[in-house]
Amino acid sequence: MHTSLRRLGTTALAAAVIVTAAACSSSEDDAAAVQLPAAPAEQQLAGVCPASVVVQLQWEPETDSGPIFGLLGPGYRVDSENNKVVGPLVVDGKDTGVKLEIRAGGPAIGFQTVPSQMYVDSSITLGLSHSEHAIAAADKQPIVAVTTLLRGSPQMLMWDPKTHPDWHGIADMGKAGVPVVVSQGQLYPDWLVSRGLLRADQIDNSFDNGPSRFVADPRIAQQGFANSEPYVYEHEVPAWNKPIAYQLLRDTGYEGYARTVNVRKDKLNELRPCLQKLVPMIQRATAQFRADPTRVNDLVVDVVAKSANFTPYSAGQAAYGSKTLIDNGLIGNDTDGVLGSFDEARVQRLIDQFAPILRKGGSTVPAGLTARDLVDKEFLDTTVTAS
């Protein structure tokens, strides 16, 4: 997650050179020197949204959060010390009057869940999360999703096709009884156990997000994301450098949404005027990313390259990742025909499936929790669709 070449006319090329120079700068003065046209009045966020719209990612910058980076304008500055990037929040290259601050998650926040981080740090405006994590947080750290970047999850379990030529999917891992290595805090393995696809004694929560164990012992199964590991293992892990096989959780019946865009429930009313303008902007950025992810691919690669704290992220991986999300239908209209929307019946099924699992594990899930506690469709622009 190889960037395609774009043909630019003389004027556009000159503009691109100016933008690149500004984007590469790490000084506030140079960033401030970028002059952008103002967005029309109906898209001005100053005085309506916080002066800095802060978005907390689940992990480091990657293109599965692409639409958020699509709102980041030229003149952005990467703050390596604080694992974030800051720049103007733009729509179609026009300044909305506020800043966009995108913060890395994962190791940058001590591997806390996003709902937890949102309640630790009240400066966060929006947080990206998975549906099941919102269910787990509903009692003490409730969040509400106002749109989603992905309508399906790229989460997968992977295996070596040479070691296991007879495997076709996750159910075969269960039959074989091999270790299934995942990182701590994942909730879907218990769901897979509850569905009879895996056994509880197979789940190994020691995954450190590196390839060394899989390379050393290809008998195991391992977690991954379809927009990342298939490319990385084949092209960027010298000790492996060959294809892996995988099955998406989606294809086993898992219906979780990934990269939902959330606010704290206790801030929903306060942010309502902002969300009425901002959510349709995120939807349109999602539509633009789905139509052509090239600009966002380049931007994310540049942001990562400017911080020694981020895991290297190549142009090839960015292009592969975006194409995989798009080609697999993980970005697209929901059942109501609206991009970035939710199917409330699907969300309710997730609650009904995950609540007993979470309670069994010691978590408190409010009785009577419903889809409308977790998602709010009032801010969506129903005219925004995927082409």
pLDDT band, very low/low/confident/very high, at 344 (cuts 50, 70, 90) = very high
Percent of the chain with pLDDT over 90: 88
Number of domains in the chain: 2
> What pLDDT is stored for residue 18 in this prediction?
33
Q: Which of 100, 148, 134, 141 is nearest to 118 (CA)?
A: 141
Structure-block tokens of residue 162: 């040479």
pLDDT band, very low/low/confident/very high, at 59 (cuts 50, 70, 90) = very high
Domain membership of residue 161 (yes or no) is yes
32 and 63 inside one domain: yes
263 and 172 inside one domain: no
Q: Which of 112, 156, 160 is nearest to 136 (CA)?
A: 112
Domain membership of residue 37 (yes or no) is yes
- Say whether pLDDT at 3 is over 70: no
56 and 194 inside one domain: no
Q: Which of 252, 273, 292 is the last residue of a domain?
A: 252
280 and 141 inside one domain: yes
- 246 and 153 Cβ atoms separated by less than 8 Å: no
Which residue range is the domain that position 339 belongs to? 10-152+257-374
Close Cβ partners of 384 (under 8 Å, ≥ 6 residues apart): 280, 283, 284, 286, 287, 338, 339, 340
Structure-block tokens of residue 157: 């379990």
Sign of the torsion angle spanned by Cα atoms 20, 25, 30, 34 = positive
DSSP-derived letter for residue 233 is H
- Say whether pLDDT at 386 is over 80: yes
- Say whether pLDDT at 127 is over 90: yes
Q: Which of 219, 252, 285 is the last residue of a domain?
A: 252
In this predicted model, what pLDDT tens digit does every residue of 179-231 receive, in sequence order? 999 998 889 999 999 999 999 999 999 998 899 999 999 999 999 999 999 99
Q: What is the mean pLDDT of the chain?
A: 91
- 223 and 182 Cβ atoms separated by less than 8 Å: yes
Distances (CA, A) of 8 to 12, 340, 342, 360: 6, 31, 38, 58
Domain membership of residue 385 (yes or no) is no
- Which residue's structure tokens are 């910058």? 61
14 and 39 inside one domain: yes
> What pLDDT is stored for residue 22 in this prediction?
38
47 and 99 inside one domain: yes
227 and 277 inside one domain: no
Q: Which of 8, 108, 75, 71 is nearest to 285 (CA)?
A: 71
Pairing mode of beta strands 180-181, 203-204: parallel
Domain membership of residue 281 (yes or no) is yes
- Say whether pLDDT at 90 is over 70: yes
> What pLDDT is stored for residue 185 in this prediction?
83
In this predicted model, what pLDDT tens digit does every residue of 22-56 receive, in sequence order? 344 343 434 445 899 999 999 999 999 999 999 99
Mean of the pLDDT values across residues 348-363?
94
Structure-block tokens of residue 152: 């399906």
What CATH number is associated with residue 211?
Answer: 3.40.190.10
> What pLDDT is stored for residue 5 in this prediction?
27
d(CA 289, CA 67) in angstroms, rounded, equals 6
pTM of the model: 0.90
Domain membership of residue 192 (yes or no) is yes
Domain membership of residue 304 (yes or no) is yes
Q: Which of 203, 219, 252 is the last residue of a domain?
A: 252
Length of the chain equals 387
230 and 81 inside one domain: no
In this predicted model, what pLDDT tens digit does every residue of 94-120 receive, in sequence order? 999 999 999 999 999 998 999 999 999
Domain membership of residue 117 (yes or no) is yes
SS3 of 45-98: the string is CECCECCEEEEECCCCCCHHHHHHHCCECCCCEEECCCCEEEEEEEECCEEEEE
Domain membership of residue 384 (yes or no) is no
d(CA 15, CA 204) in angstroms, rounded, equals 51
- What is the Cα 47 distance to its own chain's centre? 28
145 and 19 inside one domain: yes
Close Cβ partners of 149 (under 8 Å, ≥ 6 residues apart): 64, 65, 66, 67, 68, 128, 258, 259, 260, 261, 282, 286, 331, 340
92 and 69 inside one domain: yes
100 and 238 inside one domain: no
289 and 359 inside one domain: yes
